[in-house]
Amino acid sequence: MKKKIFGLTMAMVLAINPIINISAPANTAYAAIDQSQLDRLDTTNLERQIKAARYLIDNLPNIISGDKKKRLEELIKNSEDLIRRINKLKASQAVADNLNIRVKNIIRENLDKKNTQFTININSYTSNQEIQSWFLQTAKEDWYFFYSMYGKANVKTKYNSKKSKGDKVYIDSATFTVTYREDPVVDDQVENFANEWVRQNINDYDSDLEKTQKIHDFIVTKNQYNRGDSKDISGGYSIYHPASILYGNGGVCNAYATLFDKLARRSGLDVRYATGYSKKNGEPHIWNMVKVDGNWYNIDTTWDDPTITFNDGYVENLEDFIIYDFFLKSDGEIQKSRTIDNNQDRPQSFSTLNTGLTDTTIQKVGDTYRVVR
């Protein structure tokens, strides 16, 4: 009995000790492990073995004595110290989790209101870098907001030198200064436009494919790709915001993708975003994924709206030029032109939908050139 309990106790300590360096401070140990490892640290068995070991010492003095007793008492002491460290670590993690949730909730509330400056009382040990990461995580929860409205943010933290200890920095508060790409009033106008456009153009009996094509064709014919001026403005609107398409002189891929998202969701379609880099010029790019009849496909309204150079004459309705090179394509097809970033929210597309749609062409009709289907 003695050997079994002693062996199990020693084995438990040796098994746990490599995961947490018991000679290191708690905050250092926390940095060295992840949440899944922490969750697996159940001290119940170790506590049971400590109790059994104490029973041996108290009730079997003839067997547990001398060096054996000294070794077992030392092992009990180290085991109890380890349990205290584990419990302290779990308590620290709980505090960190609560702080994370609390700060993110306040950030989310302020971003929803489009506040340009706000201060959050932190009153805890953390870092400016971690607070910035919480901000970005929260901003990215809404892809439409992040890629159309959000511009940049500056985070200034107020440190408390009296409460800071060594590498543990105590932060009293954090002040966020946020720049938005577009006026929230304009964003509301886009929202109203989307609702009205869907009411006028999308019917209850439209299939997923019909809805998708209507939205695709509207955006492609409405917009003209425009990088804007030195301040990223086109016709008075941010080139990243759908307003540049609807009211300005055109925008970039952010505007295309976020407008598609806005109209598709209002039309009852399931839609996601995808990001990557162009294989032609290495520039970052964003497009959409849409579910049609239960299957996911890539759709890129930006690259289906090419810049046309036609030297034979004036084309009366050049804005009507549409192609379907990037319409409802598989990942394999779309990856011929760009990389795809790893994103757990992005569904995979395994096939290309054969829609039978044909690109428009420019033809001479009478004395003028026109875009025709």
Asked if the model's pLDDT at residue 135 lies above 50, the reply is yes
Residue 243 to residue 250: CA distance in whole angstroms = 9
pLDDT bin (cut points 50, 70, 90) of residue 215 is very high
pLDDT bin (cut points 50, 70, 90) of residue 316 is low
Residue 253 to residue 241: CA distance in whole angstroms = 9
Question: For residue 268, what is the DSSP state?
Answer: T
Among 203, 206, 214, 221, smallest CA distance to 357 is for 214
What per-residue confidence (pLDDT) applies to 31?
A: 36
**For range 7-21, the mean pLDDT:** 42
Q: Where is pLDDT greater, at 266 or 371?
A: 266
Q: 66: which residues sit within 8 A by CB, 6+ positions away?
A: none
Asked if the model's pLDDT at residue 32 lies above 60, the reply is no
Residue 369 to residue 363: CA distance in whole angstroms = 5
Q: What residues are paired with 173 via a beta bridge?
A: 121, 158
> For 291-312, what is the HEC assignment?
EECCEEEEECCCCCCCCCCCCC
What per-residue confidence (pLDDT) applies to 8?
A: 44
Among 265, 347, 270, 333, smallest CA distance to 300 is for 333
Furthest-apart CA pair in the chain: how many Å? 116
Residue 336 to residue 345: CA distance in whole angstroms = 22
Sheet containing 295-299: give its strands across.
Answer: 271-277, 284-292, 295-299, 327-329
Q: Is the CA virtual torsion 243, 246, 252, 256 positive or negative?
A: positive
Number of CB atoms found within 10 A of residue 35's CB: 9
Q: What residues are paired with 178 via a beta bridge?
A: 153
Q: Are 173 and 120 in contact (CB under 8 A)?
A: yes
Q: Are 286 and 271 in contact (CB under 8 A)?
A: no
Asked if the model's pLDDT at residue 153 lies above 70, the reply is yes
Q: What residues are paired with 187 via a beta bridge?
A: none
Considering only CA atoms, give the Rg of the chain: 31
pLDDT bin (cut points 50, 70, 90) of residue 150 is very high
